[in-house]
Chain A
Amino acid sequence: MNRISLTPPILSLLPALALVPVLAVVVTSVHVGGLQLLFEFFGAAIQPSLDPTVVKSAWRGLQITVATALISWIISTLLGILLGIASASVVWQTCIGKSWPAFLIRRILTIPRAIHELLWGLLLLQLLGLSPWVAILAIIIPYTTLVARVFSDQLDTQDRRALNALLQAGAMPFPALITALGPPIVPILMSYGGYRLECSLRGATLLGVFGLGGIGTDLQLSLQSLAFKEMWTALWMLAAVMLTLEQSINWLRRRQRANETTTNQILITFALMILLMSLGLPWLKGLEIDLSSSISWNPIPWPTLAELIGALNHLQWLKLISSTILLTLLASGIAIGTPPLAMMLWPSRLGIEVQSLIWALLRLIPPPLSLLLLLLSCQPSIAVAAIALGAYNLGVMGRLLKEGLEEQGNSCWKALQASGAGARSSWLYGCLSAQSPSYLAYAAYRTDVILRETVVVGLVGGTGLGWQLIESLGSFNWAQVILLLIVFATITLIGESLSDYTRHRWLRSTQKPALVLDLQS
């Protein structure tokens, strides 16, 4: 009778099993040789460099990053909503009675989404040269299609009874769609849109870490020469901006929800976006980044068939693909399983607060940096790369879980506790239980993201397709680059379909359609 069955709350803990092999490898290879540098790193956190030139440079970089993030956030959100409407089957079905165009558009949109923003950045740089548009477009292209996917998923999972009633009563298709689907979709869109801003900010920072300007570049340069005090100057500034953005968006949302009608919410948000956009462009111009300068097109030589075949034979595909998948699985396990496990082990109010601080810190530190820090005290292995990548995404998953639990309230938990259940099991079945289907749905999205992000840790880890892609880009071997992109996109698409499948299964097993901010970055 005591057999633990595979209920959703248990399933959301299961991925934490990835910690077992990872920790086993890491613990056996851990050493104290790098302790001194690690102390230096954490010591530098409390005494960041206040040298005026350092602060000035970081401040300039921060402005570039924030302006880039704002512009690309606004464009990608607006375009994403349009494309999302265009790829929702409910829209096509209502308007022309067929849903295949939605399916077609959705499949086409998977290709830009399958490639990480960093790769878009490096590829666009080849084609456009050093244009300030490179960083912005690199974020816009994948993010627009991400927003489109999430938005169309949301539209399609809405309750259609109201819509059908309106249509049968003879309403025109378009007004009927707006009347029936508008009110439930707007709050979701608002909270998801706000979340995308944080994603854009992290994306813009990461692009900088790979040399595309902004505060990420400051971070990268101080990382290269291990100047930790200067690194913390940039990290603290970034943390302050992230926190401020997060808080002001939350504040705005709460205020709007309390005081405004849906139409006003939309109008105010659009007005704000346009205002920010019209501020962002001159802001960048003031930083000597002129978006109105002309873009030149510099095509790269198309590889011949012989070159393609040569590249096909040269690369060790099996090894590259298997290590990429292994890295993805391990990192996803860590990112998905750790937050519920940690909250179960330490469910008190203090515990949750401490954990959410740690998660914020994990979201702040870009994976290349955390990987280097880890490598100072562990021998190199895929496990170390998995921890670095997992930790970054763990920060996101932890935040999601906490927000979900807060919205849900804790009456079940209290009831279970009152009936004499232990603190942990009552948390597991009282709190996590109701939250786990939507948590698992996010988890499926997150796994897609992690697969794309393996490109980010490949560099230091020297493993997998991601590293090979950057190496081939550095050798200007276009045949290899093209093949690697195709393989990368194929794996991503397979992964995406698999996670779509699991996500739909989970959503079906819940009572109501997931009123979730489907979060992915």
Chain B
Amino acid sequence: MSRRKGKTSVLTALIIFVGLVSCTNQPQQSFRIGAIPDQNPEKLNRQYKLLCAELSRELKVPVRYKPVTNYPAAVSAFRTGSLDLVWFGGLTGVQARLQKPGAKVIAQRDIDANFRSVFIANTTSGLKQINNINGLQVLNNRRFTFGSESSTSGRLMPQYFLHQAGVKLSDFNGNQPGFSGSHDATIALVQSGSFEAGALNERVWISAIKNGRADPKKVKVIWRSPPYADYHWLAQPNLDQRFGSGFTDRLQSALLGWSDQSSTQGKILELFGARRFIPASIKQYSKIEKVGRDLGKIQ
């Protein structure tokens, strides 16, 4: 029974394969995906097979996951056409789209349309709750850390809000901020007291409080930023030529159709920390682009 099923799927795959080859006139290619995850990166890296199998099942093409964990590396991989679909952060997505004109924003998570950063402080630092953006001036001459240098929620937007409040990077203690490398590291370093304050992705903060990694007695939120659009799936402009017409649309509806009703899809969504994926548009990211240009992260 299962063997016959296997044969059938092999046959189907072969037919699709031949079909694809004949209509694209190119050797059969795999659909290559990559991701810069914000949460559970190590788990995603290990369980990418789930994601590949699910996409492959729905799109009827072989799907390969290529691990790229470095932000600029992922952008370059997209520019050079080494990846067909990438899960980017806000800033890296804009960088990649500008370097690859015509790239398509496919989807974002339900939580990405109104994403926020939080500023946290060690409880012994004496830093108090901030009520409006100008209150960020209390961070002058404090030891302050961002996360990874290309992170939207851990660096770009926090730096933008600090800038609005009139705090320059050289105003921090030591004349420069730290760059902890990740959101979890930011929590650990602020909680330890090595840095008095830091900024990070709100989702990571919430899950750190939930799983006990952040100790409310030692570290607290002092400011929650206004919302902005963050992570999204970005696809190459030429997918329809390479994988058959309508491929981009099929890809989009596949991602948008995932729900936690299916156990596989539910597991994937859980890895991404989302309930579902929703449509996204380029317009949502125009603010990120402007901020990126103002702060020199986009040329």
Contact = CB atoms under 8 A, between A and B. Distances in A.
Contacts of B193: 31, 33-34
A381 interface: yes
B181 A473 contact: no
A221 B194 contact: no
A484 B270 CA distance: 42
B101 to A, nearest CB: 13
Contacts of B179: 459-460, 462, 467
Interface string B172-215: 00101111111011001101111100000000000000000100
Interface in A13-57: 31, 33-34, 37, 53-54, 56-57
Interface string A460-482: 11110001001101111100000
Contacts of A31: 192-194
Contacts of A470: 149
B82 interface: yes
A148 B66 CA distance: 35
Interface stretch (B68-76, B127-135, B241-249): B68-76
Contact of B80 (A129, A213, A467): A129
A210 B74 CA distance: 12
A372 B296 contact: no
A222 B42 contact: yes
A377 B188 CA distance: 11
Interface in A116-137: 122, 125-126, 128-131
B194 A33 contact: yes
A226 interface: yes
Interface string B76-113: 11011111000000000001000100000000000000
B7 interface: no
Interface in B228-266: none
A480 to B, nearest CB: 9
Most chain A C-beta atoms within 10 Å of own C-beta, residue among B177, B189, B298: B189
Interface residues of B, number: 53
Contact of A125 (B77, B180, B181): B77
Most chain A C-beta atoms within 10 Å of own C-beta, residue among B67, B75, B82, B145: B67
A218 B45 CA distance: 9
B296 A475 contact: yes
Contacts of B95: 476
Contact of A226 (B66, B70, B188): B188
A476 B299 contact: yes
B3 interface: no
A53 B47 contact: yes
Contacts of A314: 296
Nearest to B75: A476
Contact of B72 (A57, A128, A474): A474
Nearest to A35: B192
A33 B192 contact: yes
A83 interface: no
Contacts of B45: 57, 217-218, 221
B297 interface: yes
A217 B192 contact: no
Contacts of B75: 476
A368 interface: yes
A184 interface: no
Contact of B191 (A33, A227, A380): A33
Contacts of B286: none
Interface string A291-313: 00000101000000000000000
B299 A129 contact: no
Interface in A158-215: 210-213
A33 B82 CA distance: 44
A475 B67 contact: no
Contact of A474 (B77, B99, B145, B150): B150
Nearest to B71: A474
B164 interface: no
A466 to B, nearest CB: 12
A210 B72 CA distance: 10
B297 A379 contact: no
B218 interface: yes
A463 B177 CA distance: 10
A462 B178 contact: yes
A368 B192 contact: no
Given A225-B184, A474-B150, A34 B192 contact: yes
Given A53-B46, A129-B82, A462-B176, A379 B143 contact: yes
B41 interface: yes
B296 A477 contact: yes
A462 B198 CA distance: 14
B184 A224 contact: yes
A128 B80 contact: yes
A211 B69 contact: yes
Contacts of B182: 223-225
A467 B45 CA distance: 26
B40 interface: yes
Given A53-B46, A217-B45, A37 B80 contact: no
Contacts of A376: 188-189, 192, 194
A230 interface: yes
B73 A212 contact: yes
Contacts of A463: 176
Contacts of A62: none
A221 B69 contact: yes
Given A377-B194, A379-B194, A474-B150, A211 B99 contact: no
Contacts of A126: 76, 80
B80 A296 contact: yes
Contacts of B185: 223-224, 226, 372
B218 to A, nearest CB: 7
Interface string B11-51: 00000000000000000000000000000111001110000
Nearest to B146: A462
Contacts of B70: 122, 210-212
Contacts of B47: 53
A220 interface: yes
A226 B184 contact: yes
Contacts of B41: 221, 224-225
A218 to B, nearest CB: 7
Given A53-B47, A462-B177, A475-B296, A211 B82 contact: no
Given A122-B70, A221-B45, A372-B180, 9 more contacts: A34-B191, A211-B68, A211-B70, A212-B73, A224-B41, A474-B71, A474-B297, A476-B72, A477-B299
Across the A-B interface, give the 5 residue pairs with the lowest CB-CB distance, nearest first: A211-B70, A129-B80, A34-B192, A33-B193, A130-B82
27 contacts: A31-B194, A33-B194, A56-B46, A57-B46, A126-B76, A129-B80, A130-B77, A130-B82, A131-B82, A211-B70, A211-B73, A223-B181, A223-B182, A224-B182, A224-B184, A226-B213, A230-B42, A372-B189, A375-B192, A376-B189, A379-B195, A380-B143, A380-B174, A460-B178, A462-B179, A470-B149, A477-B299
Interface of B: 40-42, 45-47, 64, 66-73, 75-77, 79-83, 95, 99, 122, 143, 145, 149-150, 174, 176-182, 184-185, 188-189, 191-195, 213, 218, 296-299
